[in-house]
Each structure stands twice: as C-alpha cells, then as structure tokens.
Structure 1
Amino acid sequence: MSTAAIIDPFAKELFASMEDSDCAFAAIDYNYNFLYINKLAEKFYGKKRDELLNKNVRVLFPELWEFGPFKNGRKAVAAKQAFQMEYDSPFAKKWVQLTGKPYDNFYTYTYRVIDFKSHLRDQLRNEMKKRK
C-alpha cells in the first residue's frame, strides 16, 4: 500500500477489505499511478505489487493505453464517473466485467472474470440463500 493510501483511513479500510476478495481489485490516483492492488490483481496484471505500486499505468502498459476498454476507462477516471463494462481482457485472456468507481483522492477498478462456471455458482448461491 502506498503512503498516500495509508494516510486516508477510509482508503486503508476499503483496501484491507478487498485483500482477500474473489475479484482483482486495484486503486489508482488521478494521475494513473497505482496506489493499491490485491493478491488477485497481481495475478491479473501478471506483475508483483512492488512492480506496480506508485508506478504509472501508462508507463507500465504503454501498449494498452489506447486499447478501447483502457481508453473508455480513462475517460471515466478523468470525469470522476463510475462505469461498468465487459470486455475480452488481454491480461486475464478471458472476458471480464470491469467496474470503476471514483472517490475523492483515488479511483478503484474491480475485475470479475465472467465464465459459465462462476455464473452458475453465483446462481446456485443465490438460490440457496433464498431457501434459508
């Protein structure tokens, strides 16, 4: 976690809650520098935390800077707007649902892999909850 993120108690709590999430989760500042990534985001991006934290997204992934979903995500970040999209991820090599959410000092990305198995599992969980 970066120093900037540690100073903000809300950010610290949010990031801690996402550490063991079943989704890849990352936070950036509004200059596109990584502030936080969870364990799954390390796998998703194919890089260790220390290779990502406090580094600029454009510098780390120049080949993807103009890639359609990246470009659309950047527009949402610049406008400080929430967004959601599905796309074929060059990182995961699978379809993902990307949700972006703005906060005062940072922006979060949550990536959920979309596949038939996980979709069925979620439906089963929902049905089990209804029966209780």
Structure 2
Amino acid sequence: MRTEDLIAILALNLKPVRADAVGKRLARAHLLGLIGGAVLLVVVFGVSSDMPEQILTPLFWLRLAFPLAMIAVAVTLAERLVRPGVAITSAWLMTLLPMLTMMLGVIFLLWLHLLNIA
C-alpha cells in the first residue's frame, strides 16, 4: 500500500472533534491512574498509624509537593506533545518546576528550623 492510499483511507470518514477532547481524555486517564495508584498503595503498604501526626509536619507536605509538581509537568508536556504543531517554546523550563519546588521547600524548612517552629 502506498502512503497516499493510506492517507486517503484514513481521511475518508473524518468527523469534527471538540477542541477540549484531548484535555478531557488526558484528565480522565490521569484521574483514574491517580485513584488506582492510591488504592494500590494502601492495599500493598497499608496506612501508617501515625498518619494524622505526619500530616501536621512540614516535611510531609514537602514530600507530597515533589510528586505533585512532577505530575503537573508531565500532564502539561504530554498534552502539548499529543497535539501536532503546538509550539513548545518554553515548555522545557517546566521541567525545572519539581526541582524549584524542592529547593523552596528545603529553604522554607530551614527557615522554620532557625525560628525553632519545626
């Protein structure tokens, strides 16, 4: 089969797609993955008995901020990469977001430690 024939077959019954279809599909997939991962984590490792005390510590929130920043970067970059022709001019700067989050969190924790709060 020639390339022109394949393109003609694929373009035969095109239907318009809503502009937000990609974003909605990715959001649904990420939400299901997040829920499935959380359930699997609880089933395999269980919930720690000191979780209420851990939630009150700044280090817990710093540890949570890093994967959340990674998720934000991955979702945004994936959404840009699945759309042909979308400019990714400054998207590479977003990869610095998780590292900046951790650095700012460590600076904040050191500041709290100097003030004898944490």
Greater helix share, 1 or 2? Answer: 2
- Superposition TM-score tier, normalisation by shorter sequence: under 0.3
TM-score under structure 1 length normalisation: 0.22
TM-score under structure 2 length normalisation: 0.24
Greater strand share, 1 or 2? Answer: 1
Q: Which has the higher contact order (CA 8 A, sep 6+)?
A: 2
Larger radius of gyration: 2
